Each structure stands twice: as C-alpha cells, then as structure tokens.
Amino acid sequence: MKAKYINPFTDFGFKKIFGEEASKPMLIDFLTSLLPESNIVDLTFKDKEKLGQSEEDRRAIYDIYCEDSKGEKIIVELQKANGATFRQNYFKDRTIYYSTFPIQEQADKGNWNYQLKSVYCVGILDFQFEEEKLGVGEVIHTVQLKDQNNQLFYDKLKFVYLEMPHFTKQEHELETRLDKSLYFIKHLEDFQNIPEIFKDEIFEKAFQQAEIAKFSEDERHDYEQSLKIYRDLKNVIDTAFDEGIIKVAKLMKLNNEPIEKIIKYTGLTKEQIDRF
C-alpha cells in the first residue's frame, strides 16, 4: 500500500514536520514534553549557517536550531545509521562540539560578565548506542555535567538522546504526551488515517503537514530524493549487519559452539545455521 504520510526519518520529512514555521506548534509541543524545565512559550528559528567556523561545520550542523522567548538555545538533530557516513562518525563527540557554537555566540562585545543562557541539545537516533553503560533498552538518555560525587555541576547545558529502536510501546500503552510524540515519529509513514489518540489540534496539523498528496511538485520531488537516500543508506546498513551475523555464526560453528548458543547470539534459526 502506498504511503499516505512522509517518513520522518528522511531529512526532508523531519524538517517538514519540525523545521518549518507552519510546524512550529508540533516542535514546541514535542520539546515541552521532552524538556519540561524549559517552559517553552514560543520559538524562533535561527540561522544555523552562522554557527560553524568552517564550511564543513556549516554542512554538518544540526537540522534545527532555535531559540525560545527567554533566549535559551535548542539544537535538534535527526541521526541515521550509526557509523554509516561522516556525519555519524564520533556522534557524541560531534554533539559536544556543536553545543559550543550557541554558547560562544552569546558572548557580548565589550564588557561582558559571562552569564549564559541554557543550551539544550536533542538527538533523535534511528540506531542504538553501542555502549551498554548507557542503559540497555532505554529510550531516553539525559546527559549533564556532574562532579565526582554525582552532583549536578552545571544546569545550563543538557544533552538528550532518543534511541528510537528501543521505543516499542503500542498504541494502547501510550501514557504521556512524549509517548504520543515518539509513537507519531516512529509510525507516521505506516498510518493511512489519523488514529483517535491524535485527535487534537497540534497532531492534526502535523498530519496535514505530513500528507504527501498536499505537497507541491517540487516538494514531492525533493521528498522522493530524500526517501531514496534514506532507503539506500538503510539497505547498506542492513546488508552489512546481515553479513556480520553470518560471519559470527560461521566462526562459532567452526569453533564447535553449541547450536543453542549460536541461535541465542545471532538470532538465526537452526535451519539457517545448518546451511553453513
């Protein structure tokens, strides 16, 4: 069945849903549920091209850069397929690096007392962190500066990473506004109609923004190109993963590991393993 709504994990789809003036209510609603302490009333999209110090920085900068009515800075990025391209290499290093740009831009010329506004960095990840220490199966990872006693050292810099593969709640399990937003992001492309749980002004407007039939010819072309890039990238990652699993299974079988253990570690069936 042909998709009615866009895939939000494409660059075009993500910006269509969250990065345009018409989609600002959805962005505010999402960020408010994710960052309740920020008390966002309104947002202004800022020129992210001014953030980077080099041309490479400006090409790789966050997808959305905005400022709330209190002057607090929020940068949001959608990340796909960890390690697949330059943009995904050293992802955490990059988020730290780019968080320094909205900090530095706050410096006033002349006599300045160094008082800073808060900076929030949000990463929506279409992959899983490899480090188990971040919490196996957890969707939300919140990172802030703490001292040796695990006490918060600085409360004006916050990183929030969302591991979307770990969000597995079904429609009847959604409890919070954030649950609904994450469910919307993860399953938007699969919907043919607006589910009852999304029957409110903000989500209905987001569905209108995401409906492919309402795009102009240029928008439809741009989306198709973005979707092709996303699918090609996903196929590369899936193929590499499958090949890696097969290599592991073959090696374990060569080392006479029990078939039950091979099944457990690779997820392959006994019939598949017997073919090697």
**pLDDT-based confidence at 84, cuts 50/70/90?**
very low
Both 41 and 138 in a single domain?
Answer: yes
The CA distance from 143 to 161, in Å, is 8
Counting the structural domains of the chain, the total is 2
As to burial, measured by CB atoms within 10 angstroms (0-12 exposed, 13-18 middle, 19+ buried), residue 227 is buried
User: Among 214, 239, 259, which residue terminates a domain?
Assistant: 214
Digit-coded pLDDT (tens) for 227-252: 988 887 776 656 655 666 777 777 77
Both 98 and 192 in a single domain?
Answer: yes
Residue 109's pLDDT is 72
Q: Is residue 3 part of a domain?
A: no
Q: What is the mean pLDDT of residues 171-178?
A: 95
The CA distance from 88 to 109, in Å, is 35
Residue 83's pLDDT is 44
User: Among 198, 214, 230, which residue terminates a domain?
Assistant: 214
Among 212, 234, 211, smallest CA distance to 81 is for 234
Q: Is residue 1 part of a domain?
A: no
Q: Is residue 2 part of a domain?
A: no
1 or 88, which is more confident?
A: 1
Both 55 and 181 in a single domain?
Answer: yes
As to burial, measured by CB atoms within 10 angstroms (0-12 exposed, 13-18 middle, 19+ buried), residue 163 is buried
Quick check: 32 and 40 in contact, CB under 8 A? yes
Both 65 and 108 in a single domain?
Answer: yes
Q: Is residue 4 part of a domain?
A: no
- Whether residue 86 is predicted with pLDDT greater than 50 in this model: the reply is no
Both 156 and 200 in a single domain?
Answer: yes
Q: Is residue 55 part of a domain?
A: yes
- Whether residue 206 is predicted with pLDDT greater than 90 in this model: the reply is yes
Both 123 and 169 in a single domain?
Answer: yes
Both 121 and 236 in a single domain?
Answer: no
Quick check: 186 and 167 in contact, CB under 8 A? yes
Q: Please tell me the pTM assigned to this model.
A: 0.79
User: Among 183, 214, 245, which residue terminates a domain?
Assistant: 214
- Whether residue 59 is predicted with pLDDT greater than 70 in this model: the reply is no
Both 208 and 228 in a single domain?
Answer: no
Q: Is residue 199 part of a domain?
A: yes
Digit-coded pLDDT (tens) for 108-151: 877 888 999 999 999 998 877 755 455 557 899 999 999 999 99
- Whether residue 55 is predicted with pLDDT greater than 60 in this model: the reply is no
Both 112 and 88 in a single domain?
Answer: yes
Both 165 and 230 in a single domain?
Answer: no
Digit-coded pLDDT (tens) for 95-117: 888 889 899 888 887 788 899 99
- Whether residue 87 is predicted with pLDDT greater than 50 in this model: the reply is no
Both 65 and 128 in a single domain?
Answer: yes
- Whether residue 221 is predicted with pLDDT greater than 60 in this model: the reply is yes
- Whether residue 52 is predicted with pLDDT greater than 60 in this model: the reply is no
Q: Is residue 6 part of a domain?
A: no
Among 103, 126, 118, smallest CA distance to 238 is for 126
Q: Is residue 5 part of a domain?
A: no
Domain encompassing residue 265: 216-276
Residue 24's pLDDT is 94
Digit-coded pLDDT (tens) for 182-195: 999 999 999 999 99
Digit-coded pLDDT (tens) for 249-275: 777 777 787 887 777 667 677 776 776
CA 20 to centroid of chain Cα atoms: 17
Both 108 and 245 in a single domain?
Answer: no
The CA distance from 64 to 137, in Å, is 27
